[in-house]
Amino acid sequence: MLTRQQEALPLQPVVLTRDQHGISRRQISENALKVLYRLNKAGFEAYLVGGGVRDLLLGRQPKDFDVSTNATPEQIKQLFSNCRLVGRRFRLAHVLFGRDVIEVATFRGHHHQVNTNKNVSSQSSEGMLLRDNVYGTIEEDAERRDFTVNALYYNIADFSVVGFANGIKDLEARRLELIGDPETRYREDPVRMIRAVRFSAKLGLTISPRTEAPIQELAPLLSDIPPARLFEETLKLFLAGHGLETYRQLQQYGLFAPLFPEAAEVMGKGNNRYGRFIELALTNTDERIAQDMRVTPAFLYAALLWGPVETRTQAFMNEGGLNHYDAFMLATDDVLGRQVKAVAIPRRFSSVVRDIWQLQDRLTKRNGKRPHRLLEHPKFRAGYDFLLLRAELDPRLKELAEWWTEFQVSNPVDRQTQHRQPQARGAQQGQANTASDAEPRKPRKRPRRRPRRKKDA
C-alpha cells in the first residue's frame, strides 16, 4: 500500500456544491467578480483560486483575490483594456481597477514536458525554476500548486468549490501538506519553505512530518533567491500580525540564519539578550497590527539588526582603537552592507533604520536645547519607541526612558526646568551672570549725520 508521500496526486477532484459550503459572492470583491464574470461570458473557465478560497472557507476575509483561467495572458489582455502583462518566470495578467489589482493566471502545466524551449521553461542546476511559462489544464494547475490547502477553486459558473489533493480534508484537519515530493518542490522554489512557516503561523496549521522533514537541510538554498524578492517575503512573514510565532518557527527550522545571517551569528555566540529583544519588538509589532496602528518595516529591521550593530561597534572600538561615534558609524555601514546581500532593504527604509540607531546616542544628551531640537526630529517617535524597548531589557536605560516620557508630556515651562536638571554645573554658572543677561539689550541708536555745509561759490 502506498504511503501519503509516495502516492500520486488524486486527479479526481472533490466538489462542494453551493449548499455544501459557506462562501457567498457578497464576500468577494466587486472587481474580482467583474473579472470572473467577463472571462466566463467570453467562454473561458474562470475560478477564484488559492488563498482567497482557503481564507473564505476558514471564515477569514481575504486581503487579495486571485483568479485562474484557461485563457492565455494575451487573450486576457484582449478582454480587458485595463490590463497589463507582467512577470518573466511566469507570465501573469494584472487587471487594474485604480489601486485595486486583480491578478489573473493561466492554468500552469508540467514544465518537464516542454523544457527544451528555454524561452518557455528553464531550471537551474539546483532544480530551481527560472522560467515557467507552460500552460495546461486545471488538474495540472492544481498539481503545480504548493500546498493542498491552496489547491482550491471557486467556480463562478455554478458557485461550487473544487478541491484537489485532499485539500478540503487537510483544511478541516488544520494540516499543512505539500503537494508532491517535498525535496523536489523546495528545490524548484526554496521560498516555499518560508511560505510553509508563514501559513502555519498565520492560519494555525500544523506542518505535516513529510512536509517539514527536508527543510533544515535545504534551508541554505534561500541564498539563491534574489534579495529583492526575499524583502517582500519577509514583510509578509513579520507584518501580518503573527510575527512572534513566525520568528520562532523560522528559528526552529533553521530558516532565520539564511535571511538574517548577521543577527543569527550574534545570537549563535550565546547572546540571548538580542534574541529576547527581537521577540519583544515582534510582540510590540503584533500588538500594533491587532489595534490597526501603523507599523513600518524600518523599525522592524532596526530591531532585527541592532545586535550586530552593537557587537560590531564594540569590536571596532577594541580592535581599531576608534572612538564610539566613529566605530558606531562604521558598524552601521558594515552591518547594512552585509545584510542587503541576503535580504534587500530599499533606501527609503534603510535611511530610517540609520536614523533610529543614531537617535539612541543622541537621546542620551539632555543638555541645553538639545531635547527641544530632538523633539522636532522627524523620526523622534520611532527612536523613542526603540529606546523604550531597549529599556525593558536593560535596567540602566529605564531612567533615560522615563525622563523622555515625562519631557514629552510636560508643559513648556516644565520642559525649560526639566532640560536643565541633568546639567547642575551649568545651572550654577548661569546664576553668576548679571542681570543684563536676563534683560534684552536695547539696540544703540546710530548718531544722525549732520548735513554738509555748502561751499561758497
Q: What is the DSSP letter of 178?
A: B
- As a whole number of angstroms, the distance between CA 324 and CA 151 comes to 55
Region class of 149: left (phi > 0), else alpha (psi between -120 and 50), else beta: alpha
Question: Helix, strand, coil: what percent of the chain each, to 5?
Answer: 55, 10, 35
Cell output for 93: 495578467
Annotation says 334 is catalytic: no
**Helix, strand or coil for residue 90?**
coil
| d(C-alpha 431, C-alpha 140), whole Å | 85
**CB-count exposure of residue 120 (10 Å: 0-12, 13-18, 19+):** middle
Catalytic-role residue among 55, 66, 132, 170: 66
Would residue 158 show up in a list of annotated catalytic residues for this protein?
no
427 contacts: CB under 8 Å, gap ≥ 6: 420
DSSP 445: P
What is the C-alpha to C-alpha distance for residues 422 and 366, in angstroms, rounded to an integer?
7
Q: Is 385 a catalytic residue?
A: no
Residue by residue, DSSP assigns 225-292 as: S-HHHHHHHHHHHHSSS-HHHHHHHHHHTT-HHHH-HHHHHHHHTT-HHHHHHHHHHHHHHHHHHHTT
Extract the C-alpha cell encoding 62.
481575504
Give me the torsion for CA of 65, 66, 70, 71, rounded to 10°.
90
Which string of DSSP letters, residue by residue, matches 102-155? Answer: EEEEEPB--GGGSTT-TTTEEE-TTS-EEEE--B--HHHHHHHSSBGGG-EEEE
Output phi, psi for 161, to 5 deg. -110, 125
Catalytic, out of 55, 132, 141, 146: 146
Looking at the annotation, which residues are catalytic? 64, 66, 146
